[in-house]
Structure 1
């Protein structure tokens, strides 16, 4: 925001001036950018042009004979220009740079080549809001300032990172809310990854069904306890009541209390169907009926159904579908960036993060790097002084080289693990065991013991692992730590 004094305009460039385009691939001796003969001309106004149309072929004469290192780690990956980025010149002469075809504003959505699809996505969002009876159109009360909003556009991808659907989300500017006026509590729990892992192992051992559902327009289900007013969405105003505002009855994305409102609503609804919340993990629920048992795990809008009776699980799905707009995903295959592979005859379940790892490697240009066998090389010493102490501060190369080397080693190690799985199963009995190994052995053993206490309480409430009543073995390879314990 500009405050205090007028902003200078020296950074603006005229049409026809020299411009520079960042090279996608460069080496240590070559320039980082290519100079263009002429910037974009207004003659081409009104059409979309690809980035290569305004880029000169790079001059490789300086770098002849020099081999580029394949595992170069980009320090500022967010500044890298991808081939998927395009430059669009709007009819009025503005230049829009769009990444992956996702508009940043309502205007950009209307001027993009997929404008019809984005309009349809926005209409679908407004229809969902209307169906949920989210708002009442009212006159603006005195001394109350309504919050504003924006449309957030996203191209959703599947587990293989391929575009699947265009989504538009109406998001309130929650950062303008005032504590004690239009919001109070904001905390909302989510299921921990270790809890999900434990339940998946139990499901594999007992051969339980593992199903998955997705809640559509999740936060629109939360009921607001505070009075929140919002301006009418751009492009969907009531022309007969243009001066009125929305009084929100339910939460909307972007509000500070949106996640908490949804969690409270879901907790109320699922308990009415006979589920009991796990006191050690607030997003895990259990329902028992004779020999039938069902578990439910909630992570924001992702729900796992696990149980030994298909009709019972079907009844839970039907009940939730009557209360919320749901999408049935069938047997669970992908959750929180983790692929789930199951071999039921052998009582095995495998978890893989290959898609997520590939995404991280591509972000830092390490997808073609050498594969590493250890995550950390021996002898590397890291400290807080190697990290930026203030925003915008860049450590010198001498201070940062150790940190950069350590980061590259971790990414190389991740590269070799993309095809590996964390596999559970082939055990005659479910038994919790602990292992600890670190430089500070006694401290590590102490932290592991705390984790064991929590795991025992959590699994005890699940009620399906009989061995949890027995003492848990915690293995440590340091005699000093064992003696001190």
Structure 2
């Protein structure tokens, strides 16, 4: 247990007669013990170099009746002159010349509390520490939707009514009566919560715990790779349920399987059957089941962004950023006029709104949004102009849809592409890693991220990017394995750098990369284990290229087709 902080004693005013009455209540042994204790304290003060202290025993004995903080009285007025005011909290002791004296006094007081049986130690209860509520990753959601397209699975949506109110509490929580309803139970009462309630920090966590209990009772298993997805596997039956707070999507081979899940859930929760999935977290879902085609789009969200930031009637451009355009911190406001101007524009709000597009359905703007976000702390007019340029691009591409359909040229369940732009960051010369994972015709996962170290060559930058892409491959293999898909061979990772390919395949090819941290050699291990097979792909055919730099119009159009983005 942590030391108990010293607190200022309460000053009690009482008469001499009252003092004598209280003294009469003490036994002779108790009075002798108190006298010995204060004699020891005075000796301790003298040994500490406080010879000038003249403390009357009567004063000390009087103090014991009024406070348990003995040292505050012993080291009083004269001590203030030499060491400053007495500390009232534990943190005040630190740094004092006489800190060791106060620490010893505090320890003696603490030991007396322990010996008195004042408290007992116990394991720290969770309280509101367990407040995290997992939500399905977008890469996992898109993988499930892509599987639904490729295998023509049924997709239905369910909304759980007042989801957070279903969570059971595992410890006592009390709340005041709601304002305006105090007369319902009468004044002087508080409410003890039996169920979770909105506003309770652990409400989301308890809801997830309740849902997990119900689904496991139905035979589902919580997926370890994503703790907001449950899967049911029995012989030829496979049902996958991703959950995002209270929004539930059910992917099953037949409608009967879906009805089984719905009827079981209705025994525990009040829910709304939303029918075949047409919207998911604000994303429109459209299907052509005759062609096994499923598409995702956010047209209305883009329109809303353009209206919100007064760009509804803007002219269009054909690239997310101008070809080859690079932004830097040097473009921050340079004078009072630019500073004043930037205070009038909603740069951060716009970048935040664009992030959801880049995360959900628009891999083509992922690099541009990432670059704009780097300057959110101090954007300048050039950054604002680039953000408006991206809005103009969205004006012309708001009808684009991320499309999943069978790809006869893709022999594997998914394929991964990795690329890097060496030293492209203008401010610190770090490289940008780009990754795209495709299932069928469309991208299910993508990333554009600045590397954490400065690389010394293109080979090194490409290799680090390949490591990051390899991590996504292993996660997806594990995820799909939990869904019931078997991998009999390695998953392919395409790179467009022959030297990086050689380093990953053969430990003899290390040359100038001997300084790389050991974690980056993890890729060799998974290649040797047969989980990943690295292959070369020319840059012109590399869809991850759009994740690393600003491209021209023709290249953007070509890359969008590779990503599965179509009008």
Residue by residue, what CA displacement relative to the aligned partner does 1:247-298 show, whole Å, maximum 9, x if unpaired?
1111111221111111111111100100011111111111123212211111
Q: What CA distance in whole angstroms lies between the structure 1 residues aligned with 2:224 and 2:319?
A: 39
Cα distance, 1:191 vs structure 2: 0.4
Query: Equivalent residue of 2:193, what SS?
Result: strand
Q: How far apart, CA to CA, are the structure 1 residues paired with 2:211 and 2:318?
A: 45
Alpha-carbon distance in structure 1 between the residues aligned to 2:251 and 2:288: 16
| 1:408 alignment counterpart | 388
2:494 match: 475
Correspondence 1:196 to 2:178: no
Match of 1:462 among 483, 486, 492: 483
Instruction: Report the equivalent of 2:465.
Output: 444
SS in 2 for 1:317: helix
Question: Where does 1:20-99 land on structure 2 (aligned, <5 Å)?
Answer: none
SS in 2 for 1:303: strand
Deviation per CA, 1:385-427: give whole Å up to 9, x if none: 7679xxxx95876960221122112222222221011111133
SS in structure 2 at match of 1:406: helix
Change (3 A) 1:286 1:400: same
Classify 1:245/1:399 alpha carbon distance in 2 versus 1 (closer, same or farther; 3 Å). closer
SS of the residue corresponding to residue 172 of structure 2 reads: strand
Distance 1:269 1:384, change over 3 A: farther
- Can you give the 5+ residue segments of structure 1 that lack an aligned partner in the other structure? 1-178
Q: Once the two structures are superposed, what CA deviation does each residue of 1:11-70 show, in whole Å capped at 9, x if it has no partner?
A: xxxxxxxxxxxxxxxxxxxxxxxxxxxxxxxxxxxxxxxxxxxxxxxxxxxxxxxxxxxx
Compared with structure 1, are the counterparts of its residues 309 and 228 closer, same or farther at alpha carbon in structure 2 (3 Å cutoff)? Answer: same
Map of 1:69-468 to 2, 5 A cutoff? 182-383=127-328, 400-428=380-408, 431-440=413-422, 441-464=462-485, 466=486, 468=487
**CA distances 1:343-374 after superposition (whole Å, capped 9, x unpaired):** 00101111111122222222211121122211
SS at match of 2:171: strand
Contact 1:340/1:350, CA 8 A, preserved across alignment: yes
Is residue 183–residue 226 contact of structure 1 (8 Å, CA) maintained in 2?
no
Give the number of aligned pairs: 301
Query: Which one has the bigger strand percentage?
Result: 1
| Distance (whole Å) between structure 1 residues aligned to residue 498 and residue 471 of structure 2 | 20
Q: How far apart, CA to CA, are the structure 2 residues paired with 1:469 and 1:181?
A: 43
Secondary structure at the counterpart of residue 500 of structure 2: helix
Match of 2:42 in 1: none
Partner deviation per Cα, 1:212-270 (whole Å, 9 max, x = no partner):
00011111111122322222223444445133122111111122111111111111110
CA distance in 2, matches of 1:378, 1:425: 31
Deviation at 1:384, TM superposition (A): 5.4
Query: What's the C-alpha RMSD, in Å, of the aligned pairs?
Result: 2.5
Query: TM-score, structure 2 length as denominator?
Result: 0.50
Distance 1:434 1:385 in 2: 35
Measured in 2, the distance between the counterparts of 1:358 and 1:245 equals: 48
Q: Distance in 1 between matches of 2:294 and 2:387?
A: 31
Deviation at 1:480, TM superposition (A): 3.8
Relative to structure 1, the CA distance from residue 217 to residue 399 in structure 2 (aligned partners, 3 Å threshold; closer, same or farther) is closer
Deviations 1:434-464 (A, max 9, x none): 1123314333222111111111111111114
Q: Against the structure 1 CA distance between its residues 420 and 182, is the aligned structure 2 distance closer, same or farther, given a 3 Å change threshold? A: same
- In terms of fraction of residues, the more helix-rich structure is 2
The answer (yes or no) to whether the contact 2:233–2:484 under 8 Å persists in 1 is no
TM-score (norm 1): 0.58
1:331 & 1:419 partners in 2: Cα distance? Answer: 22
- Asked if 1 retains the 8 angstrom alpha-carbon contact of 2:332 and 2:381, the reply is no
Distance 1:249 1:240, change over 3 A: closer
